[in-house]
Chain A
Amino acid sequence: METISFELNGQTLDALDGETILQVADRSGIKDIPRLCYKEGYRADGNCRSCVVEIEGERVLAPSCCRYPQHGMKVNSKSKRAIHSQKMVLELLLTDMPEAGKSPYTPNSELDQWVEKMGLSEPRFSRRIQPELDNSHPAMSVNMDACIQCTRCVRACREVQVNDVIGMAFRGSHAEIVFDLGDPMGDSTCVACGECVQACPTGALMPANNVGLEEVDKKVESVCPYCGVGCLLTYHVKDKKILRVEGRKGPANEERLCVKGRYGFDYVHHPDRLKKPLIRLKDAQKTTELLDPKDWHKVFREASWEEALDFAASSFNNIRDKNGPDALAAFGCAKGSNEEAYLLQKLVRTGFGTNNIDHCTRLCHASSVSALLEGIGSGAVSNPFTDVKDAEVIFLIGANPISNHPVAATFMKNAVKNGKKLILMDPRRTELSRHATYNLQFRPDTDVAMLNSLMHVIVAEGLCDEKYITEHTTDFDKLKANVAEYSPEIVSPICGIPAETLREVARTFATAESSIILWGMGISQHIHGTDNSRCLIALSLMTGQIGRPGTGLHPLRGQNNVQGTSDMGLIPMFFPDYKSVTDPEIKKWFEDFWGTSLNPKKGLTVVEIVDAVHSGGVKGMYVQGENPAMSDPNLNHARSALAMLDHLVVQDIFLTETAGFADVILPASAFPEKSGTFTNSNRQVQLGRQAIDPPGDARQDWWIIQEVGRRLGLEWNYESPEKIFSEVRKATPSMAGITWERLQKEHSVTYPCTKEGDPGEPIIFQNGFPTENKKARFVPAKYSHADEMPDQEFPFVFITSRQLEHWHTGSMTRRATVLNAIEPFPVVHVHPDDLKKLGVEAGDAVTLESRRGKISTYARQDLGVQPGNLFMAFGYNESAANLITTSVLDPFGKIPEVKFCAVKMSAGGLPEKRIG
């Protein structure tokens, strides 16, 4: 590798390509050049001037953080001139600090550190009039009296996270950091990602309530429990409690976090945490009314673990013996670890003797996965989402990563800022729309027509990758014939996008060097969700935009471990690693491996299980860390099923809405209270490490599952998650090469990693597909509409959606102080014209009613929503959106159509009383 040889302080050094003087100095052990506005990983700005050095032959001093060495350059960081200015800069900055040499806002002020290293004393200049402090935000304090205008926060907000809230307004000595138009941080569009706090060198931006000043007992490196990005983080623990969270460098997040990961951790310390096993009182009736955790003693009594476990298992045994194994079912937890998931599916298969095991993937990407398995033989992503940096075109459809995968969204925004094109297709405009090159706000439900029209253009204009089609696919003729009728002119009035735009988008996607497709629930949560995904797969295959960096198919996995739980076979039709339960050879293998006979029938899925409860087929359920009483569609139907069960065991950390229906409640461990492996959307298996102990008598999930299993007759002696993991490796060839030791060392390993020593493959399908003939298959889709179209009586389209601050059913986030402070109340997003027609003002209560149920909530006006559409998150039990959604299923994926049903909206009403 070519290096550049130059002199620093008389010493000859070799700079690598792209290294600045400062970086070479640091790398060579010369670490005494001061620097403040420089932050590794961020663009160097060179504004503080504390790093200036003297370069022979130059008139003025140079900022070493921004200068690249040239051959033969002679640099001196210790010359009289250089030292003088380094010190003077520090002195000038120190002058305006609230306390010279000791920041009141952080024990680690970088300014203080350099002041000490350079031996400065009291500044000799007069201090500025200090700006006022701003404590308006629940998570962050703004102390501008400690601001040195280094702009690290500006770069954090504008270049790293690209939320574009922070600016530097005015000029000269009046230049000040502002939020929006110089507003208090708490009133601004700040999304509380905390990147600026993490970046600030002096504590001018710091965590609220002085938590940044406290000394911690230990720091534990772990993973975030929220979404499928899988950010790595560090828990700072004091007095056995989590005090704060910092971002840690990981392959999926660099060092970034979002508001949930960074500030939404104190739910684990909420007083409502379950601490003791509970058994339902004999005469406590089950109704569809939700139980307020405060009233737990009216319905439950505390019990010992022995009693609770015995009762839980014995009732399962009774039902199994009396009604058959298929009368039992379980829902596993997609936030739980791979080890927990593996154990639970093994319990269900070998303990219950059924394949009735499923989890919330059914409500999420089930249709995407079924299309992927059908078309390319594998349900996992082909490329990590970080590949957007290598893509020329980013095609994002039916997803809201700004709210649900915020850190992944930052990489998309970074890519756009670097000149990449973003094609955004969604019926709703969000903050991401501003960055999109093409913004297609199409009519909900018209995805197949729209996508087929893109493919029509690609075929008609000869933009297919013929070579790729021939070498790697089958059935292209079928697809070609199918899309022939979907010209942009015909499709435009259907989807509401101009024909010319459809053409441009198609051309842009097809002709780019590399195009990557990412999608979310907008695609999957429809009765034609599988069809929607089939179209995306076809789009990718016909243009050869797969199997290379910056290309491929990435269904953005929602839960932090939903990829892992699916991999672990926590689903009714597959064993671990997607081996079919109905395949006799595979069944034999697992029978040998687990030492017992197995049920040859594939099991029921989530909504099917609910229906089976109603029909009397399923009588007993084991629910671990799932909250179907909030997440299932058509909640009246789902909740009445829960109330109908003969025996329901709920294992969770809170007395959730679902737990209220239980016969036995087993108090379990929250994410920071366990160690285990978790697989994010990028197929990166990451190690979560235990930071604190479960409260009271709550236990590890894996221990609980083992204890139940033992009482079902299973002779289990797993001693630790590590031991479970070694068995997981044997059952899951894709992960066979990953060892616990390697995870401890590297924190994150990508699968497939089939042999020890394999690096792990981030990009797959580079040489064909895991199908029988190694080829992918085109499956054409015809445009069909949703099950329940709007009509006179129910004229609005109701669409469940995501919120940045709250996660899914709200069991964690509504108990997280900062998150709930930002968004404490349920809202439905409505176009202002629709509000006006109703005679309702923004903030007023409205009532939404469908054929299945009724809720009242508050109206929030949103110009990003199309008139006639309503968007609402589903985590507020006082206003549970799923009470009105439909449970009609996609025939292949069995996913309910929560993205489209017909409702009517009227003014007034009052949300229910919030429970918990």
Chain B
Amino acid sequence: MNKKKLGKQKARLLDPAALQEVQKLLSDMPRRKDLLIEALHLIQDEYHFISAKHVVALASEMKLSHTEVYEVATFYHHFDVIKEDQTPPPTLTVRVCESVTCEMYGAKKLTENLKQLFTDGSVTSEQIRIQAVPCVGRCQHAPVAVVGKNPIDQATPESVKQCVEKNEILPTLPQYVNFAEYQQSGGYQLFQDCLSGKRDAESVILELKNSGLRGLGGAGFPVGSKWEIVRKFPEPRLMAVNIDEGEPGTFKDRYYLETDPHRFLEGSLIAAWAVGIKEIYIYLRDEYTAAREILLREIEELQSAFPEILPEIHLRRGAGAYICGEESAMIESIEGKRGIPRLRPPYVAEVGLFGRPTLEHNMETLHWVRDIIEKGAESFSSHGRRDRKGLRAFSISGRVNKPGVHLAPAGISMRELIDEYCGGMLTGHSFYGYFPGGASGGMLPASLGDLPLDFDTLQEHGCFIGSAAVIVFSDHDKARELALNSMRFFAHESCGQCTPCRVGTVKAIPLMEQKYWNKSLLEELSQTMEDASICGLGQAAPNPLRSVIKYFPKEV
């Protein structure tokens, strides 16, 4: 007779001390289901892990079952759920990025060295753990290691060690255009004009349509049309701004956030006005700590400046899941659930956040709204090369002299970008190939380095521009290694919902590790992943491997 078992109801008891701790942390946060992830962050931030006791206490507070909390917490890699028989992690985590560009710049070696370093250094392995993580959005500074929340660019074991020893675990905020400065140079004037009636929604939408502005997160849906569509659905309507920027190679959103954050905020407000939206949810990836700090401050300033007239603005944190950059998965995450993409139809415009019609935009898309409306559609659409229209903020990284965000005409070619914007290839490196649109956009050889880079121009080559995350690789690199890196990334980030992606990504890896690839089998697998996956992650995951087979056949 097990006295312990006899003396209590099944499974875990609510621990009164843990309950008090959770209540204290949550304070007056409403105990709403959609705030589950925010609540988990509070616990993780405070204790550096989430114990079983806290899971139970949180479940009790939110009237959820234990597994409802557990399954959400374990979905996101930034939450460490520690059960009774497990050891809590050290308080300090050093995250070493292992995605495409960082791998090119020696991420694996860096990780190894760091692990070595801290076994015999002044900081013990009980106090620190080294984690290999996917793209942290700083590809132009590869390789990157994040000490706590402090990113170390061009990281070396020494620079990381120093940072750890000095306990510099928070980022320094970059210089950016703050509210006062933004307003002084004309910011929010357009927004006020809209509200006061100097502008009307129809003409604003028309201007956007004429500009040809399309969604810059990757899907490329025409912006003006999207506003029109959502506007027709019944109220209340909501807005969701996607700053989950997780595509390997992409860092443009962070760039604009850390230099000129109000521009997208104003764009959001204008969109909310034009479409008739009273609540805006901004979803920011958790890795962008500095950006979060900036946004918290600047949104507060904005709200103090316009106390009565703004829509409600909610800032939500991601928790380490690339898939939450997919619009419907992001919406699920805002609803406090696992980031699992939804089946479409119905589309998000009609049934979105909390079941309401939702206008969803990548942050950068909104960043351009003010300029286009103030300066006119032509100011945007008149740019372009090779008969393409508009501007594109390319995040460029890899074997070039000047990686970074480069604003260039749509339709520009890779070679032109390298020569005109990036200061040419690194010394000793010759142009071999490139990713035109992040890990999911596929790979192209140098022989196709003159293609126009824009929406719709690369599909026939099995690629796409996506978020314009360009990674340039050289004869120092192997395309198959980079493709394998990409597939590992997708396997790591797959939400696990559907068979083609969950199983396909993982089954592709050993096949891609073989010296000679089973091309027909890989193609069969790729076809199903493309045809039958629920969302873009699974559909695009085979792109790099298909590119290698098509354009770098000698390697496999």
Question: Taking beta carbons and an 8 Å cutoff, which residues of A are in contact with B?
Answer: 46-50, 52, 60-61, 63, 66, 81, 84-85, 88-89, 92-93, 95-96, 124-126, 128, 148-149, 164-175, 178-183, 187-190, 434-435, 824-825, 827, 841-844, 858-863
CA distance A173 to B504 in the complex (A): 9
Q: A47-B534, A174-B496 are in contact. Are A180 and B70 (CB under 8 A)?
A: yes
Question: What residues of B have a CB within 8 angstroms of the CB of A170 in the complex?
Answer: 74-75, 496
CB distance from A54 to the nearest CB of B (A): 9
Does the CB pair A88–B525 fall under 8 Å? yes
Q: Which residues of A sit under 8 angstroms from B511, Cβ to Cβ? A: 125
Known: A126-B510, A171-B494, A844-B3. 17 other contacts (CB 8 A): A49-B534, A85-B532, A88-B527, A88-B528, A92-B528, A95-B507, A125-B507, A167-B71, A169-B67, A171-B496, A172-B493, A175-B496, A175-B502, A181-B12, A181-B83, A189-B11, A858-B6
A89 touches B528 (CB 8 A): yes
Does the CB pair A60–B530 fall under 8 Å? yes
**Complex formed: what's the CA distance from A844 to B13 in Å?**
17
**Which residues in B have their C-beta under 8 angstroms from that of A126?**
507, 510
- A99–B434 CA distance with the chains assembled, in angstroms: 43
Q: Is the CB of B531 within 8 A of A46?
A: no
Q: A84 contacts B527, CB within 8 Å?
A: yes
B521 close to A172 (CB less than 8 A): no
Question: What residue of chain A has the Cβ atom nearest to residue B503's Cβ?
Answer: A92
Contact B532 A60 (CB under 8 A): yes
What is the size category of the interface that chain B forms with chain A?
35 or more
Contacts of B534 in A (CB 8 A): 46-47, 49
Cα A299 to Cα B83 with chains together (Å): 55
Q: Does B249 sit within 8 A of A, measured CB to CB?
A: no
Per DSSP, chain B at the interface is helix
Q: Are A96 and B503 in contact (CB under 8 A)?
A: yes
Q: Are B6 and A860 in contact (CB under 8 A)?
A: yes
A-chain residues with CB within 8 Å of residue B3 when the two chains form the complex:
841-844
Docked-complex contact B67 and A172, CB < 8 angstroms: no
* B502 engages A149 (CB within 8 Å): yes
Asked if B528 contacts A85 (CB within 8 A), the reply is: yes
Contact across chains for A46 and B343 when beta carbons are under 8 A apart: yes
Q: Are B65 and A434 in contact (CB under 8 A)?
A: yes
CA distance A700 to B509 in the complex (A): 66
Nearest CB of chain A from residue B306's CB, rounded to whole Å: 35
Judge whether B374 is part of the interface by a CB distance below 8 angstroms: no
Nearest-CB distance from B316 to chain A (Å)? 19
> Which listed residue, B6, B7, B67, B530, touches A164 by the CB 8 Å rule?
B67
Residue of B whose beta carbon sits closest to that of A123: B507
Q: Chain B 484-510, CB within 8 Å of chain A: the 1/0 string?
A: 000000011111111110111111001
In the assembled complex, which residues on chain A have CB atoms less than 8 Å from the CB atom of B323?
171
Contacts of A858 in B (CB 8 A): 6-7
- Contacts A46-B534, A60-B530, A863-B14; A179 near B7 (Cβ below 8 A): no
Would you give the shortest CB distance from B484 to chain A, in whole angstroms? 15
- CB pair B11 A183 closer than 8 Å: yes
Residues 1-18 (chain B) with a chain A CB within 8 angstroms: 1, 3-14
A271–B546 Cα distance when bound, in Å, is 67
B351 to chain A minimum Cβ distance, whole angstroms, is: 14
Q: Chain A residues with Cβ under 8 A from B505's Cβ? A: 172-173
What are the 9 A-B residue pairs with the smallest beta carbon separation, nearest first? A843-B7, A842-B7, A175-B496, A164-B65, A167-B71, A843-B3, A167-B67, A88-B528, A172-B494
Residues of B near A89 (CB, < 8 A) are 499-500, 528, 532
Known A166-B67, A173-B505: A825·B499 in contact at CB below 8 Å: no
Whether the pair B6, A178 counts as a contact (CB closer than 8 A) is no
Determine if B68 is an interface residue (Cβ-Cβ < 8 Å): yes
Chain A residues near B507 (CB-CB < 8 A): 92, 95, 125-126
- Binary A-proximity of B516-556 (CB < 8 A = 1, otherwise 0): 00000100110110111110000100000000000000000
Contact A173–B491 (Cβ < 8 Å): yes
Measured between C-beta atoms, what is the minimum distance from B492 to chain A in Å? Answer: 6
With beta carbons under 8 angstroms apart, the residue of B63, B67, B506 that contacts A180 is B67
Q: Nearest A residue to B10 by beta-carbon distance?
A: A189
Are A861 and B74 in contact, CB atoms less than 8 angstroms apart? Answer: no
Q: Is B52 part of the binding interface, using a Cβ–Cβ cutoff of 8 Å? A: yes
State whether the Cβ of B66 lies closer than 8 Å to any Cβ in chain A.
yes
Distance from A191 Cβ to chain B, minimum over Cβ atoms (Å): 8
Cα(A95)–Cα(B525), bound, Å: 13
Of the candidates B6, B74, B491, B532, the one whose C-beta lies within 8 Å of that of A843 is: B6
Residue from the list A179, A841, A843 in contact with B67, Cβ < 8 A = A179
Q: Hey, which chain A residues are within 8 Å of B503, CB to CB?
A: 92-93, 95-96, 173
What residue in chain A is nearest B536 (Cβ atoms)? A60
* Residues B499 and A50 in contact, CB atoms below 8 Å apart: yes
Which of B81, B495, B498, B499 is close to A181, meaning CB atoms less than 8 Å apart? B81
The verdict on B338 contacting chain A, using a C-beta distance below 8 Å, is yes
Closest-CB distance, B145 to chain A (whole angstroms): 24
How near does chain B come to A263, taking the closest CB pair, in angstroms? 16
| Chain A minimum-CB-distance residue to B500 | A49
Most B CB atoms within 10 A — which of A61, A124, A167, A171?
Answer: A171
Does A861 contact B8, Cβ atoms closer than 8 Å? yes
Residue of B nearest to A435 (CB): B63
Pair B7/A860 contact, Cβ less than 8 Å: yes
Q: Which residues of B contact A844 (CB under 8 A)?
A: 3, 7
Contacts of B52 in A (CB 8 A): 181
Chain B residues lying within 8 Å of A824, measured Cβ to Cβ, are: 1
- How far, in whole Å, are A178 and B343 apart by their CA atoms in the complex? 24
Q: Please tell me if B471 contacts chain A, counting CB pairs below 8 Å.
A: no
**B55 interface residue, CB < 8 Å from A?**
yes
**Do A180 and B66 form a contact, CB below 8 Å, given A171-B321, A859-B7?**
yes
Chain B neighbourhood of A46, CB < 8 A: 343, 534
Q: Give A128 to B509 CA distance when docked, in angstroms.
A: 12
- Contact (A47, B498) CB under 8 Å given A95-B503, A173-B506: yes
Q: Tell which of A126, A166, A173 has the most Cβ of chain B within 10 Å.
A: A173
- Complex CA–CA separation, A841 to B75 (angstroms): 37
Q: Mark B81-122, 1 if CB is under 8 A from A, else 0.
A: 101000000000000000000000000000000000000000
Distance in angstroms between the alpha carbons of A369 and B492 in the assembled complex: 62
A46-B534, A173-B503 given as contacts; is B495 within 8 A of A167 (CB)? Answer: no
Task: Point out the residues of chain B lying under 8 angstroms from A862, CB to CB.
Answer: 9
Partner of B521, one of A84, A124, A149, A167: A124
- Whether B7 contacts A49 by the Cβ 8 Å rule is no
Known: A49-B499, A167-B68, A172-B492. A187 touches B7 (CB 8 A): no
| Nearest chain B residue, comparing its CB with the CB of A52 | B532
The answer on a CB contact under 8 Å between B539 and A60 is yes
Complex Cα distance A861/B14, Å?
11
